[in-house]
Amino acid sequence: MHRWRPLLPSDIATVSAIARIVHPEFPEDDAVFADRQAIAPDACLLLEIDGTPAGYILAHPWRLGTLPALNTVLGAIPEHPDTLYIHDLALLPLARGTGAARHCVEIVSRVAEQFGAMSLVAVNNSVPFWTAMGFAAQPQPQLSSKLATYSADACYMIRTTVSPTQE
């Protein structure tokens, strides 16, 4: 059985270990994970399957049409945020296909209701996954150089309706 619970400061080493497995091409310092948890604890969750850590989501308030740089400590959220930015969703193989990702997106969409939108950068050919979660690609020419620092297939996506997705 899977369960999403609030990410705690004591979970940062676990998040780092999962990130190294799931996203080895996007290395980030533990300070970045700790920063996201500190600035948005209600939008950062750890997935446990039968008590074993199996994934996480890190999200935080941000501004639509802008992106935080990779591996950067933010220190605070910007003034007048209008989106909940999903920094990272990572699932170990044992969590894939369990419905945990959909469940997690539904949980953070409740946090996002106060902003009216969620946004993210899809990488690793994940656009179809995020499209199924209700996100749509949003071309943002001003972001092209920053998107290139993520990956060649990086795609900025927005979900303006934040109600839970339907299958």
Model pLDDT for residues 44-87, shown as the tens digit of each residue: 999 999 999 999 999 999 999 999 988 999 999 999 999 999 99
**Separation in Å, CA 30 to CA 3, 94, 98:** 23, 23, 27
User: Is this structure's pTM higher than 0.85?
Assistant: yes
Indicate the domain borders of the chain. Answer: 2-159
Q: What one-letter code names the amino acid at 142?
A: Q
Chosen CATH of 2-159 out of 2.40.50.100, 3.40.50.920, 3.40.309.10, 3.40.630.30 = 3.40.630.30
Q: What percent of the chain has pLDDT over 90?
A: 80
Burial (0-12, 13-18, 19+ Cβ within 10 Å), 151:
middle
The gap from C-alpha 153 to its chain's centroid, in whole angstroms, comes to 17
DSSP bridge pairs for 84: 61, 118
For residue 60, the number of C-alpha atoms closer than 13 Å in the C-beta half-sphere is: 24
